[in-house]
Amino acid sequence: MVLEVCVKAAVGAPEVLGDCPFSQRVLLTLEEKKVPYKIHLIDVAEKPQWFLETNPEGKVPVIKIDDQWIPDSDVIVGIVEEKHPDPPLAHHPEVSTVGSKIFPAFVSFLKSKDSNDGTEQTLLNELKTLDEHLKAKGPYVNGENICAVDLSLAPKLYHLQVALGHFKGWKIPEEFTHLNNYIKLLFSRESFEKTKPIAEEHVIAGWAPKVNPST
């Protein structure tokens, strides 16, 4: 059975896969589990009527399972894990929140216009915490095998790298060696290569309105 998945199309290029990290998380999960799926690319600027009828909130990702359209990446990956338990992506409960504060810290720093407001330091603190966790428990968050937490973090770390590099000329400090190795490990996986945005320009275009709301 082929699952149907609605994901974000690229900004300005609705015929190619877009830059939504939550959509990529779902696709990564399906790829890692070798679950066949069909993608519907949704232009979030002009959402098709059929999509809004099945999903009135209009958010992506959404997946069709048992003839029901289900939103929310957290819910989706939980159902996929339940219905397709092999290979397992479950993890110890104590690692479920590892790295969970990185994405909001990244967004705050990205949008910040004040270099002294502490947003950069907050992000550095969160990245350091992840680096220390990986040093003790790695190479992945849950140890030797990739898990659902890694698949949630991978797209967010990609957005962090691309967006902060472009808009702020900023990169993750080299001293976070375990984190940098972790990122290389994640980005080199076949599942990541197959599900990442076609071009970094699409990620940049996706964040541009948030960085410069007036443009």
| Catalytic residue ranges | 20
Tokens representing residue 179 in the block: 């984190």
Pick from 142, 136, 149, 150: which is nearest to 185 by CA? 150
**What's the half-sphere exposure (Cβ side, CA atoms, 13 Å) at 52?**
7
The total number of residues written for the chain in this structure: 215
The backbone region for 21, taken as left when phi is positive above 0, alpha when psi lies in -120 to 50, beta otherwise, is alpha
How many angstroms separate the Cα of 153 from the Cα of each of 26, 68, 156? Answer: 12, 27, 5
Let me know if 116 is exposed, middle or buried by CB neighbors in 10 A (0-12, 13-18, 19+).
exposed
The answer to whether 91 and 122 have CB atoms below 8 angstroms apart is: no
Pick from 16, 7, 28: which is nearest to 190 by CA? 28
